[in-house]
Amino acid sequence: MKPYIIYIAFIISLKGVAQDPVFTQFFMVPETLNSSFTGAKKTTRSGIIHHTQWPGLNFSINTQFAFIDNWFEEVNSGFGISILNHKETATRYNFTQANFNYVHEIVLDNDWSFRPSIAFGVGVKDFGFQNLLLEDQIKIYQGLINPNSIDPIDLNANRVFIDFGTSFLVYNQNSWVGLTLRHLNKPNIAMTTQGEAPLDIFISLHASLYIHSGYREESKVYALFNVMKQGEYNRMDVGGRVTYDRFSFGLLAATNPIKTHPNSQLLTSLNAFLGMEWEGFKFGYSYDFNTTKIGRTGGVYEISIFYDFGNKRNCFGCPDY
């Protein structure tokens, strides 16, 4: 049984420096990345996005993000709630966090606005240790399982922590640039009783920039990028998106610009996206084609849907996404 305990301890050490879940469709549902988009359309909006990673392997990861937010014109502010759930099938690791977001808008000039925001969250990490059976609990001759163990390892069934973050957004009607800082208080996520494993600060710089193409008015072209850093982990997504009438198409390259290992590859995946709008609804589907040597992972896919309750109202000057 001891090798099994060592394996569990190894998993714990990996999760001590765990990275935040990353969504391909950050430009479609930017609330997943930046709390300053709370109430950005000056209406009530809600949505959900589902992310499945590597379904072709025994080690698959499923992540869901749901949100609802509203804009209050009388105080020029937005309030929102979001819930993130992240689960790994092999380790039974489960992470859930609820965030409460507040944003205030400052008009810089006739075209540009600035939106600082704060996010307060409560997170729960769980490895299902309550189902772990240790060697001294097995009473072979009595045919019993002792509910107690004298094993020196002392594991929490789960870890609850408080989290703080902030985001900033500068935008006009066609383009936006944002910055996000998460886990500013570096919450302790260790699963051992006396353990100390501060969660690294997550930093992201992201943008959607309109490119004047000279095509028809109903067609628009955007350049996209998202640069992320958390501990040793780094990633940069770069690509573009084209919208025509109610349809949109996109392609991103996910890269590893700062190689932390000699065998790391610069290009890790190519991510294709298809979206559609209909009567206040937005639908999105994306698939990430793996380009690394991991093997047949089944790629990564996302499905998103959200609804704008004020879709009949024009929002002049709101960010386009």
Kindly report, residue by residue over 222-259, the tens digit of the pLDDT. Answer: 999 999 999 988 999 999 999 998 999 999 999 988 87
Query: What percentage of the chain reaches a pLDDT higher than 70?
Result: 78
Q: How would residue 88 be classed by pLDDT, with cut points 50, 70 and 90?
A: confident
User: Is residue 110 situated within a structural domain?
Assistant: yes
Q: How would residue 17 be classed by pLDDT, with cut points 50, 70 and 90?
A: very low
User: Is residue 316 situated within a structural domain?
Assistant: no
**Which tokens go with 260?**
């932390």
Pure H helices in 60-157 = none
pLDDT in the model for residue 127: 72
Domain count, the chain: 1
User: Is residue 318 situated within a structural domain?
Assistant: no
Average pLDDT, the chain: 84
User: Is residue 313 situated within a structural domain?
Assistant: no
- What span, in angstroms and rounded, lies between the C-alpha atoms of 273 and 23? 12
Question: What range defines the domain where residue 303 resides?
Answer: 2-308
φ/ψ bin of 18: left (φ > 0), alpha (ψ from -120 to 50), beta (otherwise)? beta
User: Is residue 62 situated within a structural domain?
Assistant: yes
Q: How would residue 136 be classed by pLDDT, with cut points 50, 70 and 90?
A: low
pLDDT in the model for residue 282: 94
pLDDT in the model for residue 94: 87
Chain CA centroid to CA 116, Å: 19
- On the question of pLDDT at 4 being above 50, the answer is no
Measuring CA to CA, which residue among 41, 76, 45, 27 is closest to residue 173?
A: 41
**DSSP code of residue 97:** E
Indicate which CATH number applies to the domain containing 299: 2.40.160.40
User: Is residue 19 situated within a structural domain?
Assistant: yes
Query: Rounded to a whole number, what is the largest CA-CA distance in the chain?
Result: 82
pLDDT in the model for residue 12: 40
- Specify the 3-state DSSP secondary structure of 112: coil
- How many other C-beta atoms lie within 10 A of the C-beta of residue 275? 20
- On the question of pLDDT at 138 being above 70, the answer is no
Kindly report, residue by residue over 175-188, the tens digit of the pLDDT. Answer: 999 999 999 999 99
pLDDT in the model for residue 149: 59
Kindly report, residue by residue over 145-165, the tens digit of the pLDDT. Answer: 666 655 545 555 678 999 999
User: Is residue 315 situated within a structural domain?
Assistant: no
User: Is residue 296 situated within a structural domain?
Assistant: yes
- On the question of pLDDT at 141 being above 70, the answer is no
